[in-house]
Amino acid sequence: MLRLLQIEFIKLWNNKSSKFLILCYFGLLVSIALFASIKFNIGPIRFHLAEMGIFSFPYIWHFNTFIAALFKLFLAIIIVSMVANEYSNKTLKQNLIDGLSKKEFILSKFLTVLAFSAISTLFIFVVSLLLGLSFSDFNEVGIIFRDLEYLIAYFIKLVGFFSFCLFVGILIKRSAFALGFLFMWFIIAEIFPYIYLMSKYSKEFADKVFAFSPFGSMWNLIAEPFTRLNAVKSIASQVGEEVNRDFAVHWYELLIVLGWTSIFIFLSYYLLKKRDL
């Protein structure tokens, strides 16, 4: 297993653009800390984001994983190209000839996906912990380590999304087209039908259906955190809107994403096995 990870590491780390993108990604994760410095004064109103409670435990786990998950698009480029380039350089063929089995090939890519997701989760854990410790109003251990299920959801969300990228990379074989396909899938297979269902039936019905789609299920894992903020809540109640959402991470949502993950990995293997190179 370590050998497969090392193989993938050699391939990625010697590639300047992959290296650049990986460093950029982790740089972006750290940049979440920059939210802390958002301050502006509008006349008498002083606005300091860090003091709005976004860095308070345990809310910070929710907020940071939600924001950090948006950056995964960066790594998507790497995942897609690390698969598609094997086709365009024909190195996949050479790898197999050299004695890598097709199973090992898929496994080495999937392990890389797991490694990226794990490192990213660890990263976000450390960044959030440090931010929380410096800005949170509550610093009791019991509160700090509450709601850590958001980190699990974050990890699963990344694994699911990258597995989708992996599969599309193998399916399309060209990085640019594969990224295009992901985008088209997002718009045509998920956004448009969602809007259609929403307008024809109801938002609840559309939500139910798309809880089972690849992107929909990943999106559901971590609910948007903004309406949970006290400041936002109080503004909402002033305009007469009662915010009463379910922000929790549910086991069945995790299960759906894990289901997609296994489907994508299995299909990748199946495609590779069936194809002549």
Partner 1 sequence: MENILTINNLTKKFGALTAVKDLSFTIKKGNVYGILGPNGSGKSTTLGIVLNVVNSTSGSFTWFDGNTSTHQALKKVGAIIERPNFYPYMTAEQNLKLVCKIKEVSDHKIDEKLETVGLLDRKNSKFKTFSLGMKQRLAIASALLNDPEILILDEPTNGLDPQGIHQIREIIKKIAAKGTTILLASHLLDEVEKVCSHVVIIRKGVKLYSGPVDDMNKSFGFFELKSEQKSALLIWLSKQNTFKDFKEEEDNKITAFLAQELDAESLNRQLFEEGIVLTHLVKRKESLEEQFLQLTNNLN
* Choice between 102 and 109, CB closer to partner 1: 102
Q: Which two tokens stand for residue 275?
A: 């194809």
**Could you tell me the smallest distance in angstroms from the CB atom of residue 263 to partner 1?**
23
Element containing residue 266 per DSSP (H, E): helix 251-274
* Choice between 104 and 149, CB closer to partner 1: 104
* Choice between 208 and 275, CB closer to partner 1: 275
Q: At what angle do helices 72-88 and 149-172 cross, to 10 degrees?
A: 30
**Could you tell me the smallest distance in angstroms from the CB atom of residue 192 to partner 1?**
36
* Choice between 42 and 97, CB closer to partner 1: 97
* Choice between 46 and 273, CB closer to partner 1: 273
* Choice between 10 and 148, CB closer to partner 1: 10
CA angle 44, 47, 51 (to 5 degrees): 130
**Could you tell me the smallest distance in angstroms from the CB atom of residue 171 to partner 1?**
18
**Could you tell me the smallest distance in angstroms from the CB atom of residue 86 to partner 1?**
9
Is-contact 257 217, C-beta < 8 A? Answer: yes
Side-chain-facing half-sphere of 92: CA atoms under 13 Å: 22
> CA 172, 213, 66, 28: dihedral to nearest 10 degrees?
0
Q: How far apart are the first and last CA of the chain?
A: 25
Could you check whether the bond before residue 44 is cis, i.e. omega within 30 degrees of 0? Answer: no
- What is the distance between the alpha carbons of residues 257 and 150, in angstroms, rounded to a whole number? 14
**Could you tell me the smallest distance in angstroms from the CB atom of residue 23 to partner 1?**
16
Query: Across-strand partners of 47?
Result: 40
* Choice between 90 and 208, CB closer to partner 1: 90
- What is the distance between the alpha carbons of residues 79 and 264, in angstroms, rounded to a whole number? 14
**Could you tell me the smallest distance in angstroms from the CB atom of residue 64 to partner 1?**
34
Residues lying near partner 1 in the complex (CB under 8 A): 3, 6-7, 10-11, 14-16, 89-91, 93-102, 104, 273-274, 276-277
- What is the distance between the alpha carbons of residues 164 and 8, in angstroms, rounded to a whole number? 18
**Could you tell me the smallest distance in angstroms from the CB atom of residue 67 to partner 1?**
32
Q: Which two tokens stand for residue 33?
A: 């800390």
